[in-house]
Structure formats: structure tokens, C-alpha cells
Amino acid sequence: MKLFTIFGNPVSHSRSPLMHNSVFKHLGYPACYTRTYLEDGSTLRETFFNLKLSGANITIPHKEVAFKACDEIRGFANKVGVVNTIVEENGKLIGYNTDADGFLYAILEFENIKSVLILGAGGTAKALAIKFLEENMQVSVLNRSAKRLQFFKTVGCKTFTWSDFQLSSYDLVVNTTSAGLNDTKLPAPKELVASVLGATRYTADVIYGKLTPFLALAKEKNLPCKDGSDMLLGQGILANELFVRGKFKKQQIKASMQKSFLL
Ligand code: NDP
């Protein structure tokens, strides 16, 4: 029996155990997926080996620490320095990032996205920004503090804090902050959020399973919006494919994983 987990703080909200266990159960794969509250990200590697894990997902706030904890990084994670999936291979930790492709899967129904405003500058924002730039979109990033903006500036995004923000027009505004996850906060002061919502065609939030104050305001303005559920499904399918080492097709994984959304 292989063991998988999700590391995070907080982690009790995570639907990943339901999703991955649904795949293991329906496809008859001998594995179990749990959740692990991890306060100190620097203990991630040690904890991974102590628990004898075969793989893990990583959520807030440990995705950047997880990158450093790996022996080898493969694919898109190399470009962003952020890891949300780890697989154990011959005693080594191999890191991947499936968040950005998961998000692109989620917004397939949004048409003609050329310019995006990202709210937040954490691990998820990094992955999305690089993916959007690869897709030739114009990317602006608005964060409450300046310290994390340098990365985005270097890769070619316009960057702002709340105090120096310059409004433009956008096809999509996406909230990647954790504001609204366990509180009732907006990702920026209300007037600022209202102004960006007045300047976009579509909105999305990466938080799932609840109507965040950000999406509630977008709905009030009759904007098309998406919560993070489809992104969760998209990144989960890609992570599970890595966990089962290609034993099942994406379509099989998707069908089994979707069953967990009915629970
Ligand atoms: P990080 O901890 O790396 O970054 C958090 C960001 O949010 C920072 O930019 C921080 O700003 C900002 N922030 C936090 N609190 C507030 C607040 N009250 N007001 C304004 N800004 C705030 O987190 P991640 O990028 O790893 O995750 C962010 C969110 O994305 C989480 O809610 C997570 O659950 C969700 N997520 C969902 C996924 C899905 O599949 N649907 C996948 C991945 C993530 P500062 O720099 O100033 O501290």
C-alpha cells in the first residue's frame, strides 16, 4: 500500500484526499492519501521520509520551500521555483508544478484572454504569471506588499502595490491571494477591488468550495466568474498521473476524480 499526503498550513480545508482516494478506489490502485498539517516548512523533507511517503502535494504556504526540499525538479516547476507535487524515486524527491496547467484547463471556456491582472504574488501567482507569459498574454500583478514583486518584474510583468496601482483594462482578473480562504477579507481595499472589477471581462478565484468576498463582489457586478474547483481538478489529474506513474490514462483519472466532487 503506497501512502500519499498533502502538506499545508492550513490544510483541513483541502479536498485533495477525497479526490486522490476516489481515483485509487475506483481504479483499484493500492494507495491511500491523507493530509498533514505542517507548521514549519523546513521539516518537509524529513517528514516526507519519516512518513515513508511515495508522493505528496504541497499547499500554502510551503510551495517555495518544497522546491528547495527536492533533489531534482522536472518541467515547468524549474521556471517558477515553486513545487506543488513531489514524487519519490529511488530515495530521491522529484518536484513538479501542475497548478498552472490546472488553471489553464479551468478557464478554457473564457474566450480570447490577452491581458490578465493577478491579485497576489505568492507561489500560485508565480506559476500562473509564467504560464500566462508563455501564452503571450500581458500580465500585471497587484500585491499588498512589495517584497515579492521583484520576481514578477524580472520576468516581464507590470507590478504594483496597493499604493502605486495604475488601473488598465483586462480580459481576466484572478485572485491568487489567500484572502477569503479562512476569513471574510477582500484581496485589496474595497474601492480598489471594485475598480478592477469594473475594468475586466472575466474573473476567477483560485480558492474553491466557497463564495469568497472577491467572487461575491464580481457576481454583484454580473461578471462571469469561476471559483478554484476546476483548477483543483485540473492540477489534481496531472498530479495523480505522476503518483500512479502513468499507469492510467488522464481520462480514466478524470472520471474517477470527478466522482469525489459529488461527495
Ligand atoms: P502564498 O502563501 O504563497 O501567497 C499568498 C499571497 O496572498 C501573497 O501574495 C500574500 O501577500 C497574499 N495575501 C495573503 N493574505 C492576504 C490578505 N488578507 N490580503 C491581501 N493579500 C493577502 O499562497 P499560495 O500562492 O500557495 O496559495 C494562495 C491561494 O491559492 C490559497 O488560498 C490556496 O488554497 C489557493 N490555491 C488553490 C489551488 C486550486 O487548485 N484551486 C491551487 C493552488 C493554490 P503578501 O506577499 O503581502 O504576504
Residues with CB under 6 Å of ligand 1 are 59-61, 63, 99, 102, 120-125, 143-145, 148, 176-179, 181, 185, 187, 206-208, 228, 231-232, 235
Q: What is the pLDDT of residue 52?
A: 98
Q: What is the pLDDT of residue 170?
A: 98
> What would the pLDDT profile of 19-30 be if each residue is shown by its tens digit?
999 999 999 999
DSSP per-residue codes, 124-150: HHHHHHHHHHHTT-EEEEEESSSTTHH
For ligand 1, the distance from its centroid to the CA atom of residue 179, given in whole angstroms, is 7
What 3-state class would DSSP assign to 216?
A: helix
Q: What is the pLDDT of residue 192?
A: 98
Active-site residues: which are they? 63
- Percentage above 70 pLDDT, the chain: 100
pTM for the complete prediction? 0.92
Our mutation pick for probing the ligand 1 site, out of 176, 183, 185, 237, counting the most ligand atoms within 8 A of Cβ, is 176
The pLDDT confidence band at residue 263, using thresholds 50, 70 and 90, is confident
Half-sphere exposure of residue 228, counting CA atoms within 13 Å on the CB side? 26
Q: Whose CA is nearest to atom 37 of ligand 1?
A: 206
Nearest CA to 18 out of 246, 233, 247 is that of: 233
